[in-house]
Amino acid sequence: MSSADKNLSIFSTANLPDVSEKRFAVLVAEWNEDITEALGKGAIETLLKHGVKEENIIKRHVPGSYELSFGAQVMAQREDIDAVIAIGCVIQGETRHNDYINNAVAQGLTDVALKYNKPVIFGVLTPNTHQQALDRAGGIHGNKGDEAAITAIKMLGLK
Ligand SMILES: Nc1c(NC[C@H](O)[C@H](O)[C@H](O)CO)[nH]c(=O)[nH]c1=O
Ligand SMILES: CC(=O)[C@@H](O)COP(=O)(O)O
């Protein structure tokens, strides 16, 4: 199923856990900042909408999506962080550089989650074009930041 078939901002909110005392790190890559800032805004707004306190949301930036893994490790090792949301947008270029970034950050974030036993959410768009990114950062397919935030909340309920 693609995002074209499932809006990223439409999801079930049944049985969400109480996250009023949970602390979230929101890491935002600076590359494609028009996209990533929209994703980050969506993530933070969704966290607030579902009971997270503003003072419990720590937003930090990293240069690019490749740096999200290390940034997630820095945040996940903190005892005062319960979940990490990693936000990025890697747009396909002329070379295979995007493939290497995407694979590295997907595996890197997974490794951090398993190492620190905390939800680390893959909120990274990997579009072919800037328009596809716009469509998934508050456009016709919703906002992947919303999806990443609700995923973090649901995963804390699992723990
Ligand atoms: N082309 C994109 C990048 N490239 C930069 C890398 O993420 C990384 O910062 C660099 O290779 C140095 O380690 N990053 C994105 O997030 N999005 C892109 O489209
Ligand atoms: C995805 C990226 O890192 C971006 O810089 C790709 O650029 P290129 O055209 O060199 O593949």
Residue ranges of domains in the chain? 20-158
* 13 annotated ligand-binding residue: no
pLDDT category, 1, cuts 50, 70, 90?
A: confident
Chain segment 102-116, per-residue pLDDT in tens = 999 999 999 999 999
pLDDT for 96 beyond 90: yes
Centre of ligand 1 to C-alpha 98, Å, is 8
Look up the ipTM and state it.
0.96
Q: Is the CB of residue 39 below 6 angstroms from any atom belonging to ligand 1?
A: no
pLDDT for 5 beyond 90: no
**3-state helix, strand and coil shares in percent for the chain, rounded to the nearest 5:** 45, 20, 35
pTM of the prediction?
0.97
Helix ranges restricted to H, 8-92: 33-49, 68-76
Does CATH number 3.30.310.160 belong to domain 20-158? no
